[in-house]
Chains A and B, each alone.
Chain A
């Protein structure tokens, strides 16, 4: 490459040798101090390779002379957090559920803790605000399958429903159609009878006496006389305005013929007792608690 650089007569500086339409560029190199600093930073950066984790190896990486680890830092931070929370969580664990709700400070702590844990563990099914969905109960309302007192809520959280835990809530809606207990027309009749219990309109020509008979023979055992439900068995009240799987005829027919057995996992062992307590208080405080 030929060097076209020349000395500019006006400034006395040399040019870069580049020329565009008669315009030439002065050669203005970076200041020496800047260049020296730049090279020093490069040399300095080598220090990071030595003192900090830097180079990937086949199965691990270089650990560095300082032994620094961001993971260890997080562990320390978490340990500090536990230390700060420690006394309060101990107080929460020691207090009875009723006392927690009466003490504003403990209630605030339990609600804050419960809300976080609820978001992490319960929200996928029950929704972030506990509003529920079809098949997943709304925890804000006053209708409870397994009871809505603090102790009952805590028991349901601890052991779950149909969870496989030895202390779990058992009991399920049987599949009267699939198992051949009731015929199709009987199912339609009893479905309409159930709607009549809740004060909902029924199909034209529906035989109430027949429905009552089928209900008495098959359903009363769990749902009780008049369909008021039974929290011991998780059998819902059929006379109120809240329906977990829907109240229209088709939904009821599906429920009666196919059965229902939604699962609530047991949280004992997955969450520590104080956390479960906090969650019980939180769910209770959503508004529906008895």
Chain B
């Protein structure tokens, strides 16, 4: 006989229940202080760059786009001030991604989630949306009260809500609008967009980014960081004991006592913690956590709790930075009566810096020395070789010439390899015999059909390497490529 077991008995109390947890809405309180000022400054800088960069002009000469930063998809070009990249140079972006990733690791090993707290677009736009919300609906308490109120809405409240969402949508729309400007000449596109002459795809992208900005910064907010973003998990795995994170210095803070009682106990010469349990750090937190519970995945380390706590400490006449950038090592050292030590320079940060320097150095070097003239050669596959009436052998090649510079070039093509060879380019009557000359227009590629002919008796080998040299006859710049000359 089976004994009846209640499945609920098999599960401990904590585990039982749905995996889904409803969001508890966060009402961050306004705060002022050092980190708030840093955040305002960085927000102004980041948004300023994002919104206005497409309008910065850069003179590249006649016929070339005059936009400093432009992703020209139809013509497959990327412009960044004095740099112009072609699709085949996509490895510069790979390098940039490597540098970005390692820079993220470096930030993390020095000061924790600097990216998350100050620079991440999700943080910046959420912060901006909170600022709008605060301006219109009031600070934390008022917003909580208004949301909790069950009274029928008055006109004032409705107009507040309408105004808030209108401003949010306006910001979101501007965000989407700035995005498309990176892909087209900004002033022209703006003119087209406002007169409803713009391309459909531009409106679609503005729509998509308006929607994502509005939803992510207006509604999703800290949930993006907590549930959607992989970085908190990776960061937790990458951090080490020396990394400075936003930390509640419990060695100083515990035991928590009220202001009055603390004063009394101190008067009696007893050891009392500085934390007065005012919950200001929780009130200002944009992710709604309590930093005093220690390092947490939800914490984006924006430093606002530091400001909040500093303000309280100033009021009650205790030293600042009860919450600050610190680590457990120093907390333990202080507990043991030793002076804290900060190790910014250590193996990890040196390695990260070295990787950044190496990859960045290689990128800068290759960018500075890259050739603006290039040649690719492709041997005909069918037929591989042709016998001519006098018995000599001819091979045909498709030659692609790349002129990445901003001016037209006149180039000459030479080939080295089989004995007594002659070179001919279809459609090109050479001024100098056996040395075809071609004009390649600025910023473009030219495809040519090139024929190499050589007497069979002088070239008995089945396959002979042949090297093609392309020389800019004005500047002397040379590019070359190797293929084979094949006998039938």
Contact = CB atoms under 8 A, between A and B. Distances in A.
Interface in B1-20: 4-7
Contact of A143 (B389, B427, B446): B389
Contact of B389 (A10, A108, A127, A141): A141
Contact of A102 (B5, B394, B427): B427
A10 B386 contact: no
Contact of B382 (A10, A128, A142, A241): A128
Interface residues of B, number: 22
Contacts of A102: 427
B390 interface: yes
A287 B389 contact: no
Interface in A1-57: 9-11
B60 interface: no
Chain A residues touching B, majority SS: loop
Given A111-B449, A285-B426, A240 B390 contact: yes
B382 A242 contact: no
24 contacts: A9-B4, A10-B5, A10-B6, A10-B7, A11-B7, A102-B427, A107-B427, A108-B447, A127-B382, A129-B382, A129-B383, A138-B383, A140-B383, A141-B386, A141-B388, A141-B394, A143-B389, A241-B388, A242-B387, A285-B426, A285-B449, A287-B394, A287-B426, A287-B451
Nearest to B447: A108
Contact of B386 (A128, A138, A285): A138
Contact of A142 (B380, B389, B427, B447): B389
Interface string B387-416: 111110010100000000000000000000
B381 interface: yes
B396 A140 contact: yes
Interface string B215-242: 0000000000000000000000000000
Interface residues of A, number: 27
Contacts, number: 64
Contact of A237 (B4, B380, B389): B389
Binding site of B, secondary structure by majority: helix, strand, loop or mixed?
A: loop
A129 B446 contact: no
Contacts of B427: 101-102, 104, 107, 285
B403 to A, nearest CB: 13
Interface in A130-185: 130-131, 138, 140-143
Contacts of B382: 127-129, 131
A197 to B, nearest CB: 13
Contacts of B381: 129
Contacts of B6: 10
Given A101-B426, A107-B427, A111-B449, A241 B383 contact: no
Interface string B446-461: 1101010000000000
Contacts of B426: 101, 107, 285, 287
A143 B388 contact: yes
Contact of A286 (B5, B7, B396): B396
A137 B383 CA distance: 13
Contacts of A129: 380-383
A143 B427 CA distance: 19
B387 A241 contact: yes
A141 B387 contact: yes
Interface in B126-185: none
A237 B389 CA distance: 9
Contacts of B390: 240-241
